[in-house]
Structure 1
Amino acid sequence: MSSTQRKKIAVFLDGTWLSRSEAAIKGVRIATGVEYYSNIALMAQTLKPHDQDGVPQVAYYQSGVGTTVGMLANLVAGATGNGLLDNLIAAYSFLVDNYAEGDDIYLFGFSRGAYTARALSGLIDYAGIIKKSQMGFLNPIIAAYTRRSLHKPSTCRHSAEILHKYTHHWPGREAIEREKDFIIRNTGSHHPEDDLLNHWKMGPEVQRVLPPPIKVIGVFDTVGALGIPGAFDMSWVRQFYEFFDTSLSGNIQYAYQALALNEDRQDFRPTLWTVRADEKQAHQVVKQCWFKGSHPDVGGGF
């Protein structure tokens, strides 16, 4: 088998307080109330080493936030999103270590994991998948990326400069256009800071990130603006995580979301992709379907 053979990389990101290891160790009934593997865990468990055509398949499974430390810390993580950034970095690092040009990328997530999957696709659209030799610079790249603020556009310029400093590439063109639109919508001005004008209007000669295609992103019931149930969607949490880009980028070929038809709790309002007809790429397939049941029914694990 050629070492350069195309492979499929599948990333599975579980929901808050969900972990397949706990379910396996503690049996059908475990202390946290989880009775079964979630759909994300089941998908990861059943992925074969090769597909029907012999193409290698590599899986990465990540337990949900609030599954790795003490009870109090787990409750805080589950309620506020603490740990979400660490999960994003871990999933992105896995792609850096395993992705080769031509590989197919599949992203799956449930609830908070769904939000993380969507944020991961946004990071890929912005920074691409950096080289392994650049992994030593991931911390400053991510630090600058996470300090971007819709209310301070100069932070966006700084993030772009840091990415260019360490990778010699500017952020992806589509990601920058979305960044511009977000800032304009949030500031209510069509004249953002002057120091960003050149950042947004760089010529074609500028070497930009060309993000790899994402074959599929499939999510189960993304809830709340940050993947956090509304009761915990506090202003300071929102401000800390506003840098995440969870919109549907043009490098995604297939986008699917399963939604809970019978979930009527205000705190669990779904976060759908909204794609205008003039924004949708010709090659894209976007399907969001309602299924009978509540939030845990759709995602499994309870």
Structure 2
Amino acid sequence: MLGAYRFLRKRFADKKWKREENKVFIFGFSRGSYAARRLAGLISYCGIPKKAGDVELAWQLYLKRDVSSADELKNKGVFFDIPLEMLGVWDTVKTTTDEDFNDHKLPACVVAGYHAMAIDEKRKFFPVLKWLNESRVKQVWFSGVHADIGGGYTECGLSDIPLQWMIDRGYKHGLRCKTSAVKQLKRDPCAELHNSYDGIWKAFGSKKRSIAQSAAVHSSTQKRIENMAAYRPSNLPAEPNYET
């Protein structure tokens, strides 16, 4: 995460990238989502250091949530703010040893945040870390377990659906993608849904994820239910709020 922070510092401070001409997009999956959200939180609290030697100072101020000191250093020109155009994450989970995660609100410097979440993940130690809902946040549930949402399986008909969804959100913010790569996505709402609750994970127990009645559920889940009689997630609301 700090490597990405240093990358941004070098571009905006040393190479003088203009903030109004260079949109920043941050993406992550799983614990990478967790890291992406922490990176956005760090940038929101402390901005970007002008000098490379102040990266660790910024990190420590962020960990302490020392907003007054960070603001004072911004006023002195030690740090400077940059906007983040989009924060896109797939099924955020945190490390089992990290107890100080507090980034449940979308950071103020982010224009919009998007979160794709797994309906069928039931490993007890994989609870999804949702954002608090507000106007800049869009969180949508998709069929599949953890890696059916963020990718990792060879058979990727399910994971290509939230990938396409995230790309489409990015397009609205000016994201550019290689067209030939996007055309290779093989979205299939009836593709194999994998079993992540096996092996050693069974020793830690299971817990179905709670989905609110008002939560957004992707329309691909509706198609899966309509075409696969055996697929009836018990944690879905009685009348899901389906959307594309």
TM band (smaller chain): 0.5 to 0.7
Q: 1:271 maps to what in 2?
A: 129
Q: 1:19 maps to what in 2?
A: none
Q: Deviations over 1:150-179 (max 9, x none)?
A: xxxxxx37xx43774597259xxxxxxxxx
Q: 1:126 to 1:257 in 2, by over 3 A?
A: same
Q: Shift of residue 126 of structure 1?
A: 0.9
Q: 1:256 maps to what in 2?
A: 114
When normalised by structure 2's length, the TM-score is: 0.53
Give the unaligned 5+ runs of structure 1: 1-87, 150-155, 171-208
Q: Shift of residue 139 of structure 1?
A: 2.2
Counterpart-to-counterpart distance in 2, 1:122 and 1:248: 8
Please say if residues 117 and 128 of structure 2, whose CA atoms lie closer than 8 Å, have aligned partners that are also in contact. yes
Counterpart-to-counterpart distance in 2, 1:250 and 1:130: 18
Matched, 1:117 2:70: no
Aligned Cα root-mean-square deviation (Å): 2.6
Q: Return the structure number with greater helix share.
A: 1
Q: 2:149 maps to what in 1?
A: 298
Q: Deviations over 1:152-208 (max 9, x none)?
A: xxxx37xx43774597259xxxxxxxxxxxxxxxxxxxxxxxxxxxxxxxxxxxxxx
Q: 1:212 maps to what in 2?
A: 82
Q: Shift of residue 258 of structure 1?
A: 0.8
Write out the 4+ residue segments of structure 1 that deviate beyond 6 Å after TM superposition: none
Q: 1:246 to 1:130 in 2, by over 3 A?
A: farther
Q: Which AA in structure 2 matches 1:168? A: K
Q: Which AA in structure 1 matches 2:7? A: F
Matched, 1:107 2:12: no
Q: 1:222 maps to what in 2?
A: 92
When normalised by structure 1's length, the TM-score is: 0.43
Counterpart-to-counterpart distance in 2, 1:247 and 1:106: 17
Q: 1:289 maps to what in 2?
A: 140
- Select the structure with the greater relative contact order (CA < 8 A; seq sep ≥ 6): 1
Matched, 1:138 2:55: yes
Give the unaligned 5+ runs of structure 2: 154-244
Q: 1:124 to 1:141 in 2, by over 3 A?
A: closer
Counterpart-to-counterpart distance in 2, 1:125 and 1:161: 14
Q: Deviations over 1:40-67 (max 9, x none)?
A: xxxxxxxxxxxxxxxxxxxxxxxxxxxx
Q: Shift of residue 217 of structure 1?
A: 0.7
Q: Deviations over 1:28-84 (max 9, x none)?
A: xxxxxxxxxxxxxxxxxxxxxxxxxxxxxxxxxxxxxxxxxxxxxxxxxxxxxxxxx
Counting matched residue pairs gives: 147
Counterpart-to-counterpart distance in 2, 1:104 and 1:122: 17
Q: Shift of residue 98 of structure 1?
A: 1.7
Counterpart-to-counterpart distance in 1, 2:77 and 2:103: 19
Counterpart-to-counterpart distance in 2, 1:212 and 1:294: 35
Counterpart-to-counterpart distance in 1, 2:23 and 2:74: 26
Please say if residues 217 and 252 of structure 1, whose CA atoms lie closer than 8 Å, have aligned partners that are also in contact. yes
Q: Shift of residue 210 of structure 1?
A: 6.4
Please say if residues 42 and 58 of structure 2, whose CA atoms lie closer than 8 Å, have aligned partners that are also in contact. no
